[in-house]
Structure 1
Amino acid sequence: MNKPAKAPLRYHVRHDTRYDYDQPVGESRQLLRLAPRELPWQHVRDHRLEIDPEPARRRCFVDGLGNLAEMLNFERDHDALFIRAESWVELRPRTLPALDRTPPWETVRDGLEYRAGRRLDAERLEACAYLFESRHVRVKREFAEYAAQDFPAGTPLLAGVDRLMRRIFAEFTFDPEATDVSTPVTEVFEKRRGVCQDFAHFMLSCLRSLGLPARYVSGYLLTRPPPGKPRLIGADATHAWVSVYCPGHGWVDFDPTNALMPDLEHITLGWGHDFADVSPLRGVILGGGEHEPEIAVTVVPEDEFATLYGTAQLPGLASA
């Protein structure tokens, strides 16, 4: 007897970013990547932005990696900037492959190596772009040596990736004070401490150092408050994990921060070679003085929306 299909789950995501400047900003250009991607298992029912002050110009586009992006131009003096991105996202269960029934990892590596005269299809050509070093990911012998014990000869690719993910989870400590966005991945390896972004960059460094294509995924993770405590607005954060290319299965996600394969609690914003490709917000300003962003993220299941926000209205769903 076939099991009944699981119903899709809906989430509301609110991502607030605020800058308060010491001095007026005369001109500013901001690049946003705050719109979730449309995927086979993820449907974006609604997405909207609230911006203060109103930009002089806005331009939406799809970047070279297929992520949705928006450019904002501000041309008048302003002392603060507030951007709120709100999305309703529907997730369906993913079809996860049997890890032990995937190709041997050496076969995948050898099949993507450059050879004169070899022609690759579009899918494999895309995968080859994620074999190399990038701003936050290094290809080095020490990373390959660390990963080697999880990839003995003949190991099915995804079984090896799963073992590597679980070893990173066991051997590294989550510590928000240990690193910042500029901490090199070599230092993360030495300290064995960091946050989700660091663990993703380290796992990518290990996989690419073995000759395996892997990309950085940016998004959100549903978190749960401590037992007996209410869910709080702004208590969540952005999240990061990795995706590995496996012939016959496409790209398969792994979350080393939590030692699991993402399914119904991971919301995907976009992906790239590393964090620099998918930073939720980055820009340049003229003026401003000293300033630090205040960021508040809230991910809430549909059935908790009214309790959290004090209204039965579910904005965005009626128009989706």
Structure 2
Amino acid sequence: MQPRSSGRVVVHTSSVSIYPKPDNTFEHKDYFGNQVYSFAIESLHRELKVTASSNVSVEPIALPLATKQNGESFFEGDMPWETVVEQSRTALTLPLRVLEYRFNSPRITASDVFASYAKKSFTPGRGLFAATEDLTRRIHDDFEYNTVLTDVNTPTEKSFGLRAGVCQDFAHIQIACLRSLGLPSRYVSGYLRTIPPAGTERMVGADESHAWLSVYAGKGHGWVACDPTNACFAGTQHIPICIGRDYGDVSPMRGVVLGGGTTSLRVNVDVEPIDAVVAASGA
């Protein structure tokens, strides 16, 4: 729930409050570098409330200069995607922290089906940025955003066959496509700005946790994030919280509850510019 600091995201303040007060707490970073807050409540309680609050600065992603020719994007310095695949074949050329995202994970398995779908965008010699942009748009256009047909446990192959799902499914599908071509790609969980800047449309996934992905774009470019739910590269409206191989590595909360009866879950997310918060408070 606490934002992840990166080259373009600076976390100025961050806090987590829990009700009822835990008997034990422990903070650490997991294998992927995500902030983890562990706690135990050993007394009887009927409600568990976890509130996370953060103040962050988000800089735009430095994408290469793009031009349009006959409706197709061309990015300055965009290397052929096959070159990135070759760079990703050995630890002699790339760090293991990049290479590990080439392989299958518990919820994502590469296959010829995903590779075939991806190759309509990743044609021979095409630049990786241009091909990734096209695949991101195609998933947005070809798949229905539907909150009923899938859940957090739906296999990627099933959501692909249904041609429907939510942000988690679309991120899994695009990662499966990219890994099936040999391109390292990772799952990103985070938040979207609740109210978009003037003149822009409200993104799908605001007011709740959101999912997108990042693909390794080769030496000199590093990781580039894209959002198939909204058919775009991730920008200043995207605030990353966790990264991992798939959703199983980054679920917002997990644990064990002992007790009976029925339970319900409610999640609220608000992401607002600081100046808007100050204006609303009258300060």
TM-score, structure 2 normalization:
0.88
Unaligned runs of 5+ in 1: 1-33, 314-320
Q: Which residue of 2 aligns with 1:164?
A: 135
Matched, 1:65 2:32: yes
* Larger Rg, first or second structure (1 or 2): 1
Does the 8 A contact of 2:87 with 2:94 survive in 1? no
Per-residue CA deviations over 1:144-196 (Å, capped at 9, x if unaligned) read 01111111111111211111001111111111112111111111111111111
Does the 8 A contact of 1:100 with 1:158 survive in 2? no
Could you say if the C-alpha distance between residues 201 and 291 of structure 1 is closer, same or farther in structure 2, counting changes exceeding 3 Å?
Answer: same
Could you say if the C-alpha distance between residues 204 and 146 of structure 1 is closer, same or farther in structure 2, counting changes exceeding 3 Å?
Answer: same
| Equivalent of 1:110 in 86, 92, 99 | 86
| Equivalent of 1:119 in 92, 117, 140 | 92
| Equivalent of 1:87 in 47, 54, 67 | 54
Which residues in structure 2 correspond to 1:1-320 (within 5 Å)? Answer: 34-98=1-65, 99=75, 101-114=77-90, 119-122=92-95, 125-224=96-195, 236-247=207-218, 248-306=220-278, 311-312=281-282
Does the 8 A contact of 1:222 with 1:300 survive in 2? yes
Per-residue deviation, 1:92: 1.9
Cα distance in structure 2, aligned partners of 1:213 and 1:241: 14
Give the SS at the match of 1:220.
Answer: strand
After superposition, the CA RMSD in angstroms is: 1.9
Unaligned runs of 5+ in 2: 66-74
TM-score, structure 1 normalization:
0.78
Could you say if the C-alpha distance between residues 288 and 306 of structure 1 is closer, same or farther in structure 2, counting changes exceeding 3 Å?
Answer: farther
Give the SS at the match of 1:80.
Answer: coil
Q: Which has the higher strand share?
A: 1
Could you say if the C-alpha distance between residues 121 and 256 of structure 1 is closer, same or farther in structure 2, counting changes exceeding 3 Å?
Answer: closer
Does the 8 A contact of 1:216 with 1:273 survive in 2? yes
Q: Which has the higher contact order (CA 8 A, sep 6+)?
A: 1
Identity %, equivalent residues: 41
Per-residue deviation, 1:307: 5.6
Per-residue deviation, 1:100: 5.2
